[in-house]
Amino acid sequence: MEDDDGVKKEAMEMLSEFQVLPRLVVFDLDYTLWPFYCDCLTKYDMPSLFPHAKGILCALKDKGVDIAIASRSPTLDVAESFLEKLGIKSMFVAQEIFASWTHKTDHFQKINNTTGVPYNEMLFFDDEDRNIVTVSKMGVTSILVDNGVNLVALRRGLSEYSQNRSSSERNKQRWFNF
């Protein structure tokens, strides 16, 4: 297992490879940042993150990329307690953690209202395909993670975000050239 500093260094190098970075990266919690459902635990349990998660979060912050949470959890108190115990609660510019049937569209509308960041300037990581499909339709570059967020998923997300932004710019130029 790699240490947080090693992962952070690798993530920083990776972020430097891309000319355009997202203004905001949004993470789900359960099975994306940590390997459990927080509604199956109590706030007295000791949480842990996936091995690459903290290094990636730190690298994004150091690169000036804002980060946020979009989590459909009925146990806000447990999630907030775990974020505090893990020492990462203050890293997020928005934390939308609540039960919902909307596949995270309500979460993203609130994040957009809080941050002012347009959907097409966001990158999102989640472990549920239905959330990826729905949030992608809002214009957010969305990446499905199988076993938590890691450096491979980060590279895939940054690549897709970069491709989406450049094709969006090309379409804008075509429109203005008429």
d(CA 26, CA 154) in angstroms, rounded, equals 12
Active-site option among 3, 5, 30, 39: 30
| Sequence-ordered list of residues with C-beta below 8 angstroms from that of 41, at least 6 positions apart, any chain | 47, 78, 82
Tokens linked to 34: 């940590």
Q: Which residues pair with 126 in a beta bridge?
A: 144
Q: Which of 28, 66, 126, 127 is catalytic?
A: 28
Spatial strand order of the sheet with 24-27 comes to 92-97, 66-71, 24-27, 122-126, 141-144
Instruction: Confirm whether 28 is a catalytic residue.
Output: yes
30 classed as catalytic: yes
Contacts of residue 150, defined as CB under 8 A and 6 or more positions apart, other chains included, come to: 50, 51, 52, 56
DSSP codes of every residue in 1-55: ---HHHHHHHHHHHHHT-SS--SEEEE-SBTTTBSS-GGGS-TTSPP---TTHHH
| Residue from 28, 143, 150, 26 nearest 92 by CA | 26
Catalytic residues: 28, 30
